[in-house]
Amino acid sequence: MPMVLNEDQRMLLVSVRAFCQENAPVSELRRVRDEQDEDGFSRALWQQMVALGWAGMTIPEQYGGFGFGYTGLEIVLEETGRTLVPTPLLATVLLCGTLLNLGGSEAQKSTLLAKIAAGEVLMALAHEEGPLHNPVRVATKAQANADGFIITGSKCFVLDGHVADQLIVVARTSGEQDSADGISLFLVERTAPGVDVQRLDLVDSRNAANIHFSNVQVPKDALIGELGSGYSILEKVLDVARIGLAAEMLGNAQEVFDRVIEYLKQREQFGVLIGAFQGLQHRAAHMYSELELCRSAVRRAFSELDGAQEEIPVLASIAKAKLSEVLEDVSNEGVQMHGGIGMTDEFDIGFFLKRARVAQALFGDANFHRDRYACLNGF
């Protein structure tokens, strides 16, 4: 169970970091926000990332990917987390790529996975239906008819919903609301008749949309996996997403921390560098310790994704709970320890705070995952 990166992975880290610092710094997010970019990310930059192999990192070679493993994606997500650059990595690669790989038919895999790896398709997973993460709360219905299925319902906070070419919609084909049984997964064209997409304007300037489906007809082969047993796939996908997002959050927290330490060594008050004050030193030391635990939690979870896989649910909840808790604290300290300048929009630190809260809420916050951890451990 490797807790450290190997030679290849360390080389990847160096090149990914260099790329992000040079081509995708925080100013890229600022540009997207200030220009009110219609896509919410740069397609040209995404194609450069695709050319570097980032989109196909976890996709098997037979479907056009590179099979570098999840550890490769861990590195990419952490480094893009450091610069906050908006990319389709979460929605297209982490969520939909994983879902298709786990549950897709041969035909679905060979068409869509290869397109994901080649940067030729953008995808989004439409699963949430309320403001609190709850993967079994699915009221959206899919009813079988002669041509396939008719989908009706509403989804919220769909990441990259307004730019996705293809949506994967979580819908109920049987069973009660809040039941894991009877949930199915469908491929839906974003431009299909009856699909109404409302882009949201979010605090972190990243992409999400509310989507309404009214009598949307999809063919039989739009179904992913078995009818009524989509939840077992969804649960695994969400765990992969939680672990991946935790890596992004680690990058965010580490960058804030590094900037704080730099500032403590530059800023003078009362004739001394403020980093000499014990009140600040001890808070910095606490953050350092917590970040070390976060790094271990993320690393351990990724090594499970590329390894035995048995403990994925517990490790996903450990990583997401820990990162949600620590990033909240570190992002607050990031503003506080920079003082007045930390409150200004001109200064970048606020972007990290804003992204932090969105990432904390996605796929379950700290309390959600403590509850889940307790359930998984029998209390």
Partner 1 sequence: MQTLEEFRQSTRAWLEENCPASMRTAMEEDEVVWGGRQAQFKNPDSKLWLERMAAKGWTTPTWPKEYGGGGLSKEENIVLLQELQRINARQALNSFGISMLGPVLLEYGTQEQKAEHLPKIVRGEIRWCQGYSEPGAGSDLASLSTKAILDGDDYVLNGAKVWTSYADKADWIFCLVRTDFEAAKHSGISFILFDMQSPGVTTRPIQLISGASPFCETFFEDVRVPAKQLVGKLNDGWTIAKRLLQHERTMISGFGLSASNAGRKPDSASVEGVAMRVRGDTQVLSDAVLRNEIAKHKIDSEAFAFTSQRSLEEAKQSKGPNATSSMLKNYGCELNKRRYELLLKALGTQGLGWSSKDNSDFSAQELNTTREWLRSKGNSIEGGTAEIQLNVIAKRVLGLPDMPTLTKKGV
Cα separation of 348 and 354, whole Å?
A: 11
Q: Is 178 in contact with 136 (CB distance < 8 Å)?
A: yes
Nearest to 253 by CA among 369, 107, 355: 355
User: Interface with partner 1 includes 272 (CB under 8 A)?
Assistant: yes
Q: How far is the CB of 247 from partner 1 (least distance, A)?
A: 15
Q: Which is nearer to partner 1, 122 or 301 (CB)?
A: 301
User: Interface with partner 1 includes 276 (CB under 8 A)?
Assistant: yes
The H-or-E segment that residue 159 falls in is strand 148-159
Residues 290-309 that bind partner 1 (CB under 8 A): 292-297, 299-300
Q: Which is nearer to partner 1, 206 or 299 (CB)?
A: 299
* Segment interacting with partner 1, rule: CB under 8 A, options 96-104, 151-159, 267-275, 330-338: 267-275
Report the DSSP beta bridge partners of residue 123.
166
Q: Is 29 in contact with 37 (CB distance < 8 Å)?
A: no
User: Interface with partner 1 includes 278 (CB under 8 A)?
Assistant: yes
Cα separation of 120 and 317, whole Å?
A: 32
Cα separation of 62 and 71, whole Å?
A: 19
Q: How far is the CB of 287 from partner 1 (least distance, A)?
A: 9
Q: How far is the CB of 373 from partner 1 (least distance, A)?
A: 5
DSSP 3-state percent helix, strand, coil across the chain (nearest 5): 55, 15, 30
Opening angle at CA 357, ends 180 and 156, nearest 5: 45
Residues 62-91 that bind partner 1 (CB under 8 A): none
Residues 312-351 that bind partner 1 (CB under 8 A): 314, 317-318, 321-322, 325
User: Interface with partner 1 includes 144 (CB under 8 A)?
Assistant: no
Which stretches of 24-113 are DSSP H helices? Answer: 26-34, 43-51, 70-83, 98-103, 106-108
Figure out which of the listed residues 178, 288, 339, 344 binds partner 1, where binding follows CB under 8 A. 288
* Segment interacting with partner 1, rule: CB under 8 A, options 32-40, 174-182, 190-198, 270-278: 270-278
φ, ψ of residue 29 in degrees (nearest 5): -65, -40
What does the binding site for partner 1 look like in residue numbers (CB under 8 A)? 1-4, 261, 264-265, 272-273, 275-278, 280-282, 284-286, 288-289, 292-297, 299-300, 314, 317-318, 321-322, 325, 366-367, 370-371, 373-379
